[in-house]
Amino acid sequence: MTGEPSPSAGDLPPEEFRFLAHQVADWVADYLRDVGDLPVFPDVHPGFLREALPQMPPDEGEPLEEALEDFRRLVVPGITHWNHPSFHGYFAITGSGPGILGEMLAAALNVNAMMWRSSPAATELEEHVLGWLRDMLGLPSPFMGTINDTASHSTLYALAAAREAAAADLSGPGLANGPPLRCYASEEAHSSVDKAVLTLGMGREGIRRLPTNGRLEMDLSALRKAIREDRDRGCIPAAVVATLGTTSTSSVDPMGAIAALCREEGVWLHVDAAYGGPLALLPEFHDLFAGWEHAESIVVNPHKWLFTPVDCSVLFCRRPEMLRAAFSLTPEYLQSRDGDGVTNLMDYGVALGRRFRALKLWFVIRYFGVEGLRARLRDHLAMAGEWVTEVQAEPGWEVMAPCPMATPVFRYAPEGVEGGDADGLNQAIMDRVNRSGVAFLSHTRVRGSLALRLSIGNLKTTRVHLARTWEALKEAATREAARLS
């Protein structure tokens, strides 16, 4: 036996790793500096990459330089650059330098923080940094945070806890013989709520979508009526999902009134603040958020608007024991004698294994500081407000919904263009701009009409970029309107 691995075993040798890591670091630094010069959306056809890649994996290993070269030559040209300062689709998120560095170190450590002893520091950093975040957001101390990959999973887990709290004992018969459970959300709530309800076995009838008012906020009287009706029918109201920052227009459900109703009715309140949550850092948003501190559970995604690379979704739960009731199940090989003083994160969701996601969030909060984060959010809000003013002042263009956060929703509707024609025109304008590579937007429907969304959340976006995008939109509008006529 020698101390060396056999020639066919072992990892990339350390000095080769060092050399390549420097190359990768240089590439990343150049990419982050220059991404604004690339087309936002790639000029590729479906299947382009599959056609370019070998059908079979290599029998023998290849030099990693070749894989890196293919990454640059084949993969990067097919990327939609979310890092681009003119990417405004969906929720225009950025990671950040500190977040990327945290992600790199987490990949290197490659620990699995499923339980305290499987990586004590990873568990404790998650608890600690989420304690910071909770305090930063002004939430009271009973809330315990855990990190999941996405808001979809956070909401699934929250509603599983709600189901646990609502139904007497699910561990034996499951849902089979109990009264039907019902969840409530506005018609503007994210589809992840429906997915969670379906996944949890409450069925399509388990979710009631409620109408909204003129500002696209949940209609409280409709919620009250629905809960009453369901009780009268023998159903159990299990949870209300209120949204702080809806996907379509960033509208905000009336938090205080919903929280009061949930307390009165004894119904679990889950708040989807996946997008809007970080705005609780700003004192000027406290009135809008007032009441969310009474929720049972809240999801906030630092990977949406807190400059943390995907994925990082935080679920705060007032009664974490309800998450444990839903998910704690420990096979023999995971039993430990570490005692009650430690947290085993595997007890708070479906996944056993978990990445060390707290590291990147910790770096982000430390590097920017609370004031730095506030300044960046305010900058995005200011730019969104200016965009709305600009659209309002431009003949033929209209703002389609209030803009309480940083996602203006608007469209081009010159006189005489209505209904399906207006929808088609706006789709064509968006497609033209997206195809040009100058900027990237996505769309929504507001009360049935197609509208464009311009989400501002990228650390690199400036007023110069926005002016360029506005010019591109107006030019596309002129051309597409001419084609229509």
Interface residue with ligand PLP among 83, 243, 455, 458 (CB under 6 A) is 243
Interface residue with ligand PLP among 81, 84, 182, 190 (CB under 6 A) is 190
* Nearest approach, Cβ of residue 274 and ligand PLP (Å): 4
Residue 413 identity (one-letter amino acid): A
Who's near 155: CB < 8 A, 6+ residues apart? 190, 192, 193, 196, 241, 270, 272, 299
274 binds ligand PLP (CB under 6 A): yes
For residues 277 and 137, is the Cβ–Cβ distance under 8 A? yes
> What CA–CA distance (Å, rounded) separates 330 from 346?
9
* Nearest approach, Cβ of residue 291 and ligand PLP (Å): 18
Interface residue with ligand PLP among 94, 301, 308, 461 (CB under 6 A) is 301
For residues 93 and 304, is the Cβ–Cβ distance under 8 A? yes
112 binds ligand PLP (CB under 6 A): no
* Nearest approach, Cβ of residue 379 and ligand PLP (Å): 21
Tell how far CA 483 is from the center of its chain: 37
Radius of gyration of the chain (CA): 25
Stretch that binds ligand PLP, among 44-52, 112-120, 238-246, 404-412 (CB under 6 A): 238-246
82 binds ligand PLP (CB under 6 A): no
139 binds ligand PLP (CB under 6 A): no
* Nearest approach, Cβ of residue 216 and ligand PLP (Å): 13
292 binds ligand PLP (CB under 6 A): no
Among 276, 237, 239, 253, which residue's Cα sits nearest to residue 189? Answer: 253
Reported as half-sphere exposure (CB side, CA atoms, 13 A), residue 289 has a value of 23
Interface residue with ligand PLP among 151, 196, 279, 430 (CB under 6 A) is 151
Report residue 352 as tokens. 């056993």
For residues 36 and 30, is the Cβ–Cβ distance under 8 A? no
Terminal alpha carbon distance of the chain: 82
275 binds ligand PLP (CB under 6 A): yes
* Nearest approach, Cβ of residue 334 and ligand PLP (Å): 27
SS3 272: strand
**Which residues make beta-bridge pairs with 181?**
236
272 binds ligand PLP (CB under 6 A): yes
* Nearest approach, Cβ of residue 296 and ligand PLP (Å): 17
Q: What is the DSSP string of 454-481?
A: -----TT--HHHHHHHHHHHHHHHHHHH
Stretch that binds ligand PLP, among 65-73, 75-83, 243-251, 404-412 (CB under 6 A): 243-251
For residues 307 and 361, is the Cβ–Cβ distance under 8 A? no
Interface residue with ligand PLP among 41, 82, 87, 91 (CB under 6 A) is 91
* Nearest approach, Cβ of residue 298 and ligand PLP (Å): 12
Stretch that binds ligand PLP, among 102-110, 127-135, 239-247, 426-434 (CB under 6 A): 239-247
Count other Cβ atoms within 10 Å, centred on residue 259: 21
152 binds ligand PLP (CB under 6 A): yes
Mutual angle of helices 120-136 and 358-393, in 10-degree steps: 30
316 binds ligand PLP (CB under 6 A): no
> What CA–CA distance (Å, rounded) separates 260 from 239?
14
Number of residues that bind ligand PLP (CB under 6 A): 15
Q: Which is nearer to ligand PLP, 39 or 276 (CB)?
A: 276
Could you list the residues that contact ligand PLP (CB under 6 A)? 91, 150-152, 190, 192, 243, 245-247, 272, 274-275, 301, 313
